[in-house]
Amino acid sequence: MFKKILIANRGEIAIRIMRACKELGAKTVAVYSDADKNSMHAQLADEAIHIGDSSPKQSYLNADVLIQAALASQADAIHPGYGFLSENASFAGTVDSAHLTFIGPSADSIRAMGDKAESKIRMKKAGVPTVPGFEGLESESDFKKAAEEIGYPVLVKAAAGGGGKGMRVVNQPEELHEAIESARGEASNAFGDDRLLVEKYIPNAHHIEFQVFGDQHGHLVHLFERECSTQRRYQKIIEETPSPLLTPELRKQMGEAAVNAARAVNYYNAGTIEFIFDPSLSTPALSGDEGFYFLEMNTRLQVEHPITELTTGLDLVQWQIRVAAGERFPYSQEQLTQRGHAIECRVYAEDPANGFFPSTGKLLQYIEPRGPGIRVDSGFRAGDEVSHFYDPLLAKLIVFGESRETAIQKMQAALREFVAHGVTTNIDFMQDVLSHEDFTSGKVSTKWVENKFNWKPSTPTFESLIAASLADLTIVNRPSSIVNEHDPFSPWKNPNGFRN
């Protein structure tokens, strides 16, 4: 087992990993920027090293500085968290070259799944269902032919990167030219790669992902699914497990496909296979279609991993560390089971009534809910500053119940107890989502929030009034880009940026 681990991340991510390290008896090294000099994660670690100014490019995204910090602190390994450099194959390779252990998959696996076009070709060869579409397109006439063969609507999207960037829905031929140009430009700016592919667009799709986990001895399993369809602009808001849609037969079929997908790239450690599920194919066997399609693989731990932990009883971060140290994962697929139902809500300092614009400022009062079946992963306390330099996630609120109905009720109660004064939050917005009949009946698709949930705040909240009064007193310099540490493809290019 490792004696000392450097955590190349910040906030609640770093604190979550620290807890796992300490339970395993490993010392922890935190890194922090100027903006995080008084942060919880820097204070809770055994050691803390300053790595640069507040700009992520000069600190948390600076691979050379991170490696230097690990070597200077005599760490054995680096845990990248889930964001920033966690899906950067070059960084994983650099860690190995420095004779340190990267707590995650191999650089080759990250590289293979980081390219949507290449990964889709690999999945086809492995027999994993993929969305009908075409890769390797160059001219506009190629795209036109492909779209006509697939049938409108189609989705034009970037071959590299992720997080919803470089994606455009095309409903008719007249929209294709503009979609190609705008998607190509966004992909080039975000990823330095303007290659595109085109796929069939499924209007009422559900987003269902499977947690996979493997060791370095060839053992690979899945830890069941997470329903992630409650999204805004391709970014998850609320996640739950089990999915209210899946039958035992379909769960088994999708789980096997997820394991096959991971095995196709010799995957080990924690990862997530994301699927698009078409509910219109309610009897896929009769239609000749599986009803689900491989979307992409996240070669890292996900933000929503706690709901899997609560229903399986496994500490995924601990097992990430143990597997990286060479241990065998001891559970067979048959031994793994789920119990109850878990839901996660992402509590953000943002204003849903103002285009979900990030809200910054000091947390004048901050009280997290407590009680049986309630878990809060956060990196803030009362008096802390919500900076404009990073993603405005305040906390992940997770609840466990014996049934889905019980879990929803517990989440609503926990949100009512959550106090975050000094900034505007999305708490009221999430309460209204949880109360909506479409959510309670499990009918929320990935476009539901944008197309059907026309949310408006009922009355001004206390925190919105506080934030407004503070705004009258303070002129805030807002940056042109905001970085989301939960998204390895940050920085954002706009305040309504994409979070994965």
Using DSSP's 3-state secondary structure scheme, residue 78 falls into strand
Write the DSSP string, 14-76.
HHHHHHHHHHTT-EEEEEEEGGGTT-HHHHHSSEEEEEESSSGGGTTT-HHHHHHHHHHTT-S
Report the alpha-carbon distance of residue 302 to residue 306 in Å, rounded. 9
* Helices 176-191 + 140-150 axis angle, to 10: 110
**Tokens of residue 327, six digits:** 């241990």
Strands (E), 402-483: 419-421
- From residue 32, how far is each of 199, 239, 415 by CA, in Å? 41, 29, 30
Q: Give the residue ranges of DSSP H helices in 136-222.
A: 140-150, 176-191
Write the DSSP string, 242-289.
S-SS--HHHHHHHHHHHHHHHHTTT--EEEEEEEEE-TT-SSHHHHTS
Using DSSP's 3-state secondary structure scheme, residue 415 falls into helix
- From residue 367, how far is each of 13, 39, 394, 395, 429 by CA, in Å? 19, 17, 11, 11, 19
Using DSSP's 3-state secondary structure scheme, residue 197 falls into strand
Please identify every residue annotated as catalytic. 300
Nearest CA-CA partner of 7 in 485, 490, 406, 498 = 485
What residue type is 159 in one-letter code?
A
Residue identified by tokens 């899906």 is 87
C-alpha triplet 185, 196, 213: angle, nearest 5°: 115
What residue type is 402 in one-letter code?
E
Q: Alpha-carbon dihedral of residues 260, 262, 266, 268, nearest 10 degrees?
A: -130
- Indicate if the alpha-carbon torsion angle 112, 113, 114, 119 is positive or negative: positive
Report the alpha-carbon distance of residue 250 to residue 240 in Å, rounded. 17
